[in-house]
Amino acid sequence: MNGINDHVRNTCKIGQKSACCRYLVITPHGFDCVKNMEMRAYIDSRVAMETMVARADGCEGKTEKDLNS
């Protein structure tokens, strides 16, 4: 996991199954957070239906710049 910043590793907990933040996504530009976007409702519904592995809610939400610096 070289090149992954501390927030993604320690707060989003990438790769840590159900402890991984459900709002962390990968885009062509790197990591992004969809917690404060329209996609949040869809992700929350998937977690409620237990159809996602990542289930945590790690922080207040970060920008793409925060997650890739």
pLDDT in tens, 8-30: 999 999 999 999 999 999 999 99
pLDDT in tens, 39-65: 999 999 999 999 999 999 989 999 999
Q: Does the pTM exceed 0.85? A: yes
- By CB atoms closer than 10 A (0-12, 13-18, 19+), residue 12 is buried
C-alpha to C-alpha distance for 48 and 28, rounded to whole angstroms? 28
Domain map (residue ranges) of the chain = 6-61
